[in-house]
Structure 1
Amino acid sequence: MTNNIIFRNKRLKLLLTPFILFGIILIAMALTVVFQYRTIEEISHMPLERMAIGFLEALGLVFLYNYLVRKLNVSYPWKRNWLVRSIIDFGITIIIPTIIIGTINFAINAGWMPEHQNEEQFRIIIFIMPLMVSALLMVVVEMIVATEERNQLELKITQLEKEQINTKYTALKEQLDHHFLFNNLSVLSSLIYESTEKADKFIQDFAAIYRYVLSINKQDLVTVEEEMEFIKTYLNLYKYRYEDRFDYNCNIERELANYLIPPLSLQVVVENVLKHNVVSQQHPLTITIETTDGKLIIKNNLQLKTDKFVSTQTGQANLIEKFKLLNCEKPLFYSQDNHYISLIPLIPPSHD
């Protein structure tokens, strides 16, 4: 369907070219009358049938040049040798009209075409005009073909970039999904030995969370309200484990509930907080999630672990990459006043 539309558009451009050309000629003729270089009577006696023949010639030249230019762009493109290509184009604009003129002249001499009574005007229209028209049409066709090829190249590049972005973004989402599952199964494993009641409650909440993960598998964006409901349940899992050693607070402006955010963004942030900070009776950890200036602020008291552990260093990098692929403002991460702060931009609903 799209290819047929493109083909019709190309054909329409070519058909319009001779009309535009002769429109310019008619305007020029009208201006000669306006400025009294010619009279309407003189214009009316011009060989209109010959002009009609000239129009058909121009129409034929347009399609012929279109065919030749496209073939040359494949067999001998401009980038190969622009000087030789220019000579080839110039030769075409001279040779083809010369053949046409010679054919018409032969037909007149053979008596197949009648001579016109105004020989001067006849020679201008039949002999001189084809050379001028040929050169102009070649330039126009080259411009049309070059523009089409450039647009097709840009469209192809855009499609390839989009496919690459979709592939990369899907890979990022899948990576986060697997990471999420692995970490929470580890938490469940430890809870089973501590309290079966906690483990049972954990399983119920974990099932609800995993349903959310499955439901957003094909989504690039979710609402802040959906993501907040998810993260509250997610943080509850850690409350079961750490009890009074861990706490969280959420304060989200209601008018931002329909704003958008990449799914699992908050999970990445809070997971990093819990992974890198001490959570103990002497050092309780608190996470606060609130909004300001159209951004989510995730803040926690900074109490970094001193023991060394292997980190993949992919959490924040993946989150930044997700926003980059969505062509949105990237998240910020920094330390301030013994707190670690994450700023996650919210995307207006119109972006979706």
Structure 2
Amino acid sequence: MTSAKYRIFLIPLVTVLIMASSVLAMLLFGYRNIEEVKEVFSNRIWIALLNAILTVAIFYFVVKWFNKKFDWNKNWALRFVLDAGLVIVHSYIGMTFIDLLFEFGLFGHDPKSASKEFLYIIPIAMDTLFLVLIELIMGMEEKDKLAIKIACLEKEQINTKYSALKEQLDHHFLFNNLSVLSSLIYEDVNKADHFIQDFASTYRYVLQINQRNLVSVEEELDFINNYLHLYKFRFEEGFEYKVNVKKKLDCQIPPLTLQLLVENAIKHNMVSRKHPLTLSIEAGDKCLIVKNTIQPKKEKEISTKKGQENLIEKYRLLGNRLPEFREETNEYIVIVPLLKKQDD
């Protein structure tokens, strides 16, 4: 199966088929004899093929550039003028070049019997046909890419939903929090009540976003505050956190993004009263910045980096700037891009 990327270069072969059909018609209807046909083929076929290949190559790259700078959907009138101008300019340059070749005798005699208008109309018609075919093929390629992208997003969405439920309802996480709740009930009823509310909010959020691709930043921050509060109850002085996002961010984010980063920070670092783990979330320029202190565990957890890879792939499929992960002095920093608000 021919790759869609190279499908466009089949157009020169169409040119050859058109010429072959024309010659066959000339023979059948007696307009040419076999000797004249041989002369036409030997003198002109390679020139026509070379011209078709050059035209398609030039038009392909110019149209590709037009699609980036002057999208049909944004300004169709300007794009129409540009495409028409491309055909006229290319045809004029091509025929002027051929006229020069005739003058120098490289093509034999100059066909004086044919009018100049006719000589220019044919290239314009052919170039228009090439341009339409190129636009059509590139449009089909974009449609195929979009279909593949949507299919990948749907697959990723299913995987994310399953992974989210599997990880968030992990029995270790559930057991640890129930253990904390059990001790709080005997120590402080009010604290236990607050803990239950945070615990319920955490799981309610996971179930609510199960059918959504994106959530508002406010929703994600409300969730992560409850989630962090659960860890604060569990580790007490061994864990400190700060969510410093004061301004309203009218943006969206893939659900459970912050949870993944918090979970990774706790998974790979020591959390103790002697060495408290500090984590912060703050607003940046069209992004959230998540930082945590680096204090590796003595017995290091095996890291597959699957969570990070899934997060990066999710952003790549959404066509957005990718998250950044880096270490600076004793801090691990993650920059999470925010997405423009759209219908989910």
Q: CA deviation at 1:154?
A: 3.5
Q: CA deviation at 1:272?
A: 0.8
Change (3 A) 1:155 1:306: same
* Aligned-partner SS, 1:316: helix
Q: CA deviation at 1:345?
A: 1.7
Between stretches 176-185 and 232-241, larger displacement belongs to 176-185
CA shift digits 1:23-49 (9 cap, x unpaired) = xxxxxxxxxxxxxxxxxxxxxxxxxxx
Alignment of 1:149-188 (within 5 A): 149-182=137-170, 183-188=172-177
Q: Which residue of 1 aligns with 2:302?
A: 310
Q: Which residue of 2 aligns with 1:93?
A: 22
- In 2, the alpha carbon distance for the partners of 1:207 and 1:184 equals 14
1:240 equivalenced with 2:204 (yes/no): no
Q: Is the 8 A contact 2:168 2:206 kept in 1?
A: no
Between stretches 342-351 and 324-333, larger displacement belongs to 342-351
Q: CA deviation at 1:81?
A: 11
Q: 1:251 aligns with which of 236, 244, 250?
A: 244
Q: Is the 8 A contact 1:291 1:297 kept in 2?
A: yes
Q: Which residue of 2 aligns with 1:286?
A: 278
- In 2, the alpha carbon distance for the partners of 1:179 and 1:88 equals 60
Q: Which residue of 1 aligns with 2:325?
A: 333
- In 2, the alpha carbon distance for the partners of 1:267 and 1:343 equals 14
Q: CA deviation at 1:335?
A: 2.2
Change (3 A) 1:293 1:190: same
* Aligned-partner SS, 1:254: coil
Q: Say which one has the larger Rg.
A: 1
Q: How many residues align?
A: 250
- In 2, the alpha carbon distance for the partners of 1:172 and 1:148 equals 36
1:226 equivalenced with 2:219 (yes/no): yes
Give the letter aligned to residue 206 of structure 1: F
Residue segments in structure 1 that go unaligned for 5+ positions in a row: 1-76, 103-123, 125-131
Q: CA deviation at 1:245?
A: 2.0
Give the letter aligned to residue 268 of structure 1: L
* Aligned-partner SS, 2:298: coil
Change (3 A) 1:210 1:143: same
CA shift digits 1:221-242 (9 cap, x unpaired) = 2111111100000011111211
CA shift digits 1:99-144 (9 cap, x unpaired) = 7899xxxxxxxxxxxxxxxxxxxxx9xxxxxxx9999978866765
Residue segments in structure 2 that go unaligned for 5+ positions in a row: 1-6, 32-112, 114-119
Q: CA deviation at 1:173?
A: 4.1
Q: Is the 8 A contact 1:93 1:138 kept in 2?
A: no
Alignment of 1:17-166 (within 5 A): 88-96=17-25, 144=132, 147-166=135-154
Give the letter aligned to residue 271 of structure 1: E
Q: Which residue of 2 aligns with 1:216?
A: 209
TM-score normalized by the length of structure 2: 0.60
Change (3 A) 1:249 1:143: closer
- In 2, the alpha carbon distance for the partners of 1:82 and 1:335 equals 54
Q: CA deviation at 1:269?
A: 0.7
Fraction of identical pairs, as percent: 36
CA shift digits 1:237-266 (9 cap, x unpaired) = 1112112222211111314x2222111111
Q: Which residue of 2 aligns with 1:343?
A: 335
TM-score normalized by the length of structure 1: 0.58
Q: Is the 8 A contact 1:278 1:303 kept in 2?
A: yes
